[in-house]
Amino acid sequence: MADWQEIPGSITAPKGYRAAGITAGLKPSGLPDLALILSDTEAIAAGVFTTSQVRAACVDYCRERLQTKASARAILCNAGQANAATGAQGWEDALESAKALSRVLEIPPESILLASTGVIGQRIKLDALKAALPQLVAAVAEDGAESAAKAITTTDLVTKSIAFETTLSDRPVRIGGIAKGSGMIHPNMATMLAFVTCDAAVSPHLWQQMLGRAADRSFNQITVDGDTSTNDSLIALANGQSRTPAITDAGHDAEKLEAMLTDVCIYLAKAIARDGEGATCLIEVQVSGTSESAEARQIARTIAGSSLVKSAIFGRDPNWGRIAGAAGRAGVLFDQNNLQIKLGQFLMMQHGQPQAFDRAAASNYLRQAAEGAYLKHDTVVIAVSVGDGPGVGKAWGCDLSYDYVKINAEYTT
């Protein structure tokens, strides 16, 4: 069992954070569309962003900011317009929104990070955003996490938030997080966004390293449709308000903090995959037996991303041949005579040989996973072993349903 526990409060659970989400009139729907996360003091800040060559202005803005100064007090996020593929004007809009918020908060613009989600090719509605900032700042509160989690969503069916608490040097340390996204990219609602707050004291370099590794084991291991967005952003703040000793090097405390950070990211990542467009269930792929864990993660991601595996699971079809096919094309060398495949408790292939199994029972397992009314019971588990190596990895995805096509074909431009 992990050495930490879930607590309420998500991003405002750690000490010294407040948040708010309001309706600024950016979304045509009139739903909440502007969120602010505020640390009472300057916090160490780390970020992981889309690797796409086509990036939103806010992504370029944050990368530049964090290279100059690895700290921040505020994250401003708008939903409705992605401000991606908007050229030089999009960049000016990003700068202007940071400046406007800095005037209201009376902090330097350099202490503000930005994120956007919404339609690619559309600029932020800057006038509406600026007009709403005083109201937004007035609304920030210690119980404002849920309103912020709501305001960053687009076509998400649910909000995604979590907080964990552990003990470092006999003092409580907390990490909270919120995320949005129900595809790696949305209809053209760019994106996956996740914001994490922490009250531990940690050096900027170490915090960035921890975040990068946590992202590799969580957000980089989920796939809904294989499309990486222009706006993908994961930003994590650590403000030291827990008053625990500063973590500056590897060691017990660093390991513990990183493990909890990773679990926060995994929770949010799974919540995004579970909310995948049209999905009826969450799929967890567990891979073992590679030389390196990165290879296991790569095989797991390939299986979780296979349209054929995904549509078979939607059809409640225990089609292990598609799992074998996806494993084989993942770009990782292995001897197919060592391949083992399990779907739930059903052993389908061992030593590269097909195994007899109860097909009706296996199909029923898939049906039950989809019909699992409880959050913890709706996961389809695929376990694959490719050899005797120490490498292990997991990935998460969802099934491919008629509704995925419907959502994406009928989304009105």
Classify 76 as helix, strand or coil. Answer: strand
Q: Minimal distance in Å, beta carbon 152 to a copy of itself? A: 19
Longest dimension (CA), the chain: 69
Express the helix, strand and coil content of the chain in percent, nearest 5 each.
40, 30, 35
CB closer to a copy of itself out of 368 and 408:
408
CB closer to a copy of itself out of 263 and 399:
399
Residues marked active site are found at 191
Q: Which residue has the tokens 């790569």?
A: 298
CB closer to a copy of itself out of 12 and 188:
188
CB closer to a copy of itself out of 377 and 406:
406
* DSSP-assigned letters across all residues of 294-310: HHHHHHHHHHHH-HHHH
Distances (CA, A) of 44 to 33, 197, 205, 291, 405: 26, 10, 9, 35, 41
Angle at 93 between CA 91 and CA 98, to 5 degrees: 100
The residues, ordered by sequence, that sit 6+ positions from 194 with a Cβ below 8 Å of its Cβ are 177, 178, 179, 180, 219, 233, 234, 235, 265, 268
What's the one-letter identity of residue 256?
K
Task: Report the C-alpha gap between 198 and 184 in whole angstroms.
Answer: 25
Structure token digits, residue 319: 């089609």
Q: Look at residues 276, 69, 247, 284 and name the one whose alpha carbon lies nearest to residue 173.
A: 247
The residues, ordered by sequence, that sit 6+ positions from 353 with a Cβ below 8 Å of its Cβ are none
CB 281 within 8 A of CB 313: yes
DSSP at 312: H
